[in-house]
Structure 1
Amino acid sequence: MHLSLQLVSGRLLTRLLFVVTLLLPTAAGAWSTIHRSLTAFGGEYTVPASTPPGTVIARQTLPIADLCAPGGCKLESYNTERSGYPTGDVGYIHPTSVQGVGQRLVLNGAPLYAMTNGYSDPIRVDNALELQLITTGAPIKSAALASDVYPGVVTSLVLTSWIKDLYGTEIRLSGSIRSVAGTCFVDSPTVTLSPIAAARLPTVGSSGGGAAFTLNVSKCPAGYNRVGYKLSQSAVSPAGPPGVLQASSSSSAHGVTIQLKDSSGAGLELNRSYPINEYSKTSGGSYNVSLRADYYRTAPQITVGSVNADVTVYLDYQ
């Protein structure tokens, strides 16, 4: 029985932050301009200097209640400004004051395209907007995200409510990006389980007969606030028992699969980041993560044979 752990490192765990701003409605039928200024993000984000392009390193939700009057609104225009003037940039990703980090606005899961002259067909806003910090592919350099200093960029939105109120909303960035040279390494072990009799798994949900193994995370550089690991398998249902893997198509056994557990024997939740608590921000270093793999019965009937499963190991940095 084989459990192959395949390495993919250098991914980033993003953080969710929220902003709350009160909008005051005006009388129906009136036409008024209301200027809003929101501040996004804040704090420090520590990322590898070589983070792959297109990696979202932070997200900020802009609730619809903070952008529109009751009843919803339409997005008339979206552009970026510098020193009070439009930058003229169009597209989906726009620069910030940090080299290698851009910003992107998302509605209904799809990025919005910035138009210098506004949209010919305004976009109905029925859900929250999301502002993202996203890597552009250029080497990331440590810098502040403040939008009021050159070359700071302000995201500008114009939204029209269904009761004809015009909301001019600007989103200013705050906080900072700290770039760290280098990432950790992690090995890719193959875990072999000894054969087990079906009788040792008497009922659905039974587990046992496994083996302990170690993830070796090495050569971590100093400077990160947190280093974490995540074991991922895209086919796994979030509602399933923790740590239970989808057996690969090469398995000949049926009614049984493999469950991953932590060192205490508890099921390891897949697609969730766990911190490497021993990591030292001041010195970095190498660390061993103790885990376990057991057989797990999934069906009333078991067909004997081999069981194989693969998971991907992600390392994340904050």
Structure 2
Amino acid sequence: MTSVTSLFAPVEADLCLLTENLKNLVGARHPILYAAAEHLFGAQGKRVRPAIVFLISRATMLDSDITPRHRRLAEITEMIHTASLVHDDVVDEAEVRRNVPTVHSLFNNRVAVLAGDFLFGQAAWYLANLGNLEVVKLLSEVIKDMAEGEIQQGLTRFDTTLTMEAYLEKTYRKTASLLANSAKAAGLLSGVSAEVADNLYLYGYHFGLAFQIIDDILDFTGSTEALGKPAGSDLISGNLTAPVLYALEEKPYLEVLIEREFAQPDDIPQALALVKESEGIERSRALAAHHAQIAVESLAVLNPSTSAQTLIDLADYVLSRLY
């Protein structure tokens, strides 16, 4: 299987510069916040979101180099993503992420919430200084979407009446909105037409859905070590994802286990087994493949280039993570 690191070869230098810039942007005026940020940006994350910003920037600027505004957009995108993770970890009471201790487990909840707020604030300030109102609107929408998605998830814990439509809407808000709006923003900074900008949004939208659906499958099929968090943690916390929603159609007893919030000692192993015995995982994979295909088709508006091909290959990579 192709690794995501090798896929990002066309923008590897951009990503290295991004990591250094992020540490510097946070600044050393607040030692604890800086330590928290250094811990976050030093983690070996995939950097998928800024990589997509760089790839789209390069794919739409074939005749010249990308601009400082493109680079700043990639940094803002990663700041927003990281801030949301810090807050999510507090809400979820997660002790590790990517096999690294979370900010609140290293420091405390107060520092984690403030670190997340600080990163959102920094992102907003740098966003305003890009001097492009349309891009400001797009990324401001993302911050709103992320909060709404987290609220939606919190209100539907252990809710077996959750529909697939509601799950996909929540997934869009929590994951795909940032990818969709930052992809479109990168195109706008390159001066692309409205049609191309809309297609770049569709790429991020459908790529983001496919990416998260695969993540939700891996919560059942991956090892704790590979996931960087306990396997089955979404279901245990009452977050019902695509594999569970499909499994509920086949396994009525799963509804009983979820609705009593796994009160009995054997409830969790039984629930995990029921999901794996059902067609839920295979149907979820088909759903992810459907969205990945639409993402690829959305790129037909781009001229052929190494960066455009990498964006196509990324959609294939997302699906290959299951094997």
TM-score, normalised to structure 2, is 0.23
The structure carrying a bigger helix percent of its residues is 2
Name which structure has the greater RCO, CA cutoff 8 Å, separation 6+: 1
Structure showing greater Rg: 1
The structure carrying a bigger strand percent of its residues is 1
